[in-house]
Amino acid sequence: MYVRLPLNDNHMQLPQHDGLDIAKLSSVFRDTTNAYKFYWFLSILDSLRDNGESIKKKKDIALRMLANVWYPLDYFKLSFGSQDGFKKVAQFISLKITVDNRPNSPSLFEQIKQNFSERDLTELTQETKKLYRWVPFRFVRPFIEAETKGILDQNVNAAIVRICDELFESHPHRVMYRFVGDSIELNSIWVGYLQKHQGILRGFIFWHLVKFLQKNNPNVIGLSEKLQKPAERDLKAANRFWKGYLAENPDMICIYSGQIITAQNLSLDHFLPWSYMAHDQLWNIIPTTKNVNSSKNDRLPSLEVYFEAFSTLQYNAVQFYLKKENQQLPEDYLYLFRENVQGMSLETFQDVLRKQITPQWQTAQNLGFPHPFIYVEK
C-alpha cells in the first residue's frame, strides 16, 4: 500500500504504514531552499543500514552528510546554490586526504575516519556543528506543524525538542525521533519502516534532490549520475573500438604528447572529464598513453591546442569502421550526428562535434574544473 504525494510532486509514492503518518514524511522536502535536509535524511538511512541502533549521535550523522555531499560538490563540482554551507567543508576533505574513488574502495565516511588525523578530525567536527545547528529540527517540524505554528524562530528549536519528547512515547507515529543530549533517538516503529523501505526512501530523496539541483545547475548533464560515488565505468565498447583501429593503424599517436600509442601503453581518456560527462560515449573518448592520461586526470584540455587533432582522429576512426560496413561500433556517433556519417566531410564532422564539445567545456569551466590542460613532458 502506498501514499500518494501532492500533485506538484508528480504523484511520487511512498509505502504506506497503518501506524505512521507517511503523508507528513512525504512533505519534509516541501519548500526546500538548501540541501541540508536531503543529506540529513540520507545519512540517517546510511547509519541504520550500517547498524540498527536507534540512538544516533548528531555529529556522526553530520559526518556522514559530508561524506555523501563530497561527490556531487567536489568530485562532480555541482552547485548547491548561494545558501550552501557544504562546499567549504567538502573542499577541506580534499585538502586533507586523497579520496579513493574506485568502485570497491571503502566508503568516504570510512576513509575520513581512517585517514584523518585527530587534529583534522576535531577541526572537521567543529565545522560540522554548523551544519546540524538547524537541520535536525527543521526536518522533523512537518510532523508537528500544528504544535509549532506561530512560534518565534529563536524559540522554535527548544519547542521542537519539548514536543518531540512529549509525543515520542504517547504518539510514536507522530515523530520519527526525539532529542537526547547530542544525539537523536529514532522511534522503534519508524526504525522498522526506514529499514524495510531503504531503497524506495533513497529514491525518494534523490528524486527531490535532482529537482533541487536542476534549479542551480540548469546546463549540467547527467545530474542523476552525479549524486553518489561513481559506479564502475563500462569501457568495453571503447576498448574494442580503439584497439581494433590501432591494430590496423599502428602509426597512431597521442593527440596530447605526440607519443606513439601501442597495445601495451594504450589508455583511454575522456576528452571532457568523466567526472563532468558521467558517461562513456565513444565520441568523448580518445586513445592516449597511460602516463599522459594520469597527468591529465580531470582537467579540461585546451580546445585551441587539441580540438583539431582530437576531432580528426575521431573522424578517421569512424570512417575506418564505416568503410568496413561495421555499423555497430560507431552507434554513439550515429546517435550524436543524427544523419549518415559515412562519406561526411571532415569539416562537417568537426563542426557538429565542436557544437557538442564547446558549450559543455564552458559549463565545466564555470563549475570549476581545472583548465586548460596542455601536456608538458617531464
SS3 311: helix
Contacts of 308 (CB under 8 A, 6+ apart): 350
Query: How far is the C-alpha of 93 from the C-alpha of 137, rounded, in Å?
Result: 26
Closest residue by Cα to residue 353 from 368, 338, 369: 338
Contacts of 375 (CB under 8 A, 6+ apart): 256, 257, 292, 295, 296
- Residue 205 contacts residue 41 (beta carbons within 8 Å): yes
**Which pLDDT value is given to residue 313?**
97
**Which pLDDT value is given to residue 4?**
39
Regions of the chain short of the pLDDT cut 50: 1-10
pLDDT tens digits, residue range 7-44? 344 456 899 998 898 999 998 998 788 899 999 999 99
Query: How far is the C-alpha of 192 from the C-alpha of 54, rounded, in Å?
Result: 10
Write down the pTM of the prediction.
0.85
pLDDT tens digits, residue range 180-208? 999 999 999 999 999 999 999 999 999 99
Q: How far is CA 81 from the centre of its chain?
A: 15
Judging by DSSP bridges, how do beta strands 2-4 and 13-15 pair with one another?
antiparallel
**Which pLDDT value is given to residue 125?**
83
Run of H or E residues at 268: strand 266-270
Query: How far is the C-alpha of 347 from the C-alpha of 78, rounded, in Å?
Result: 34
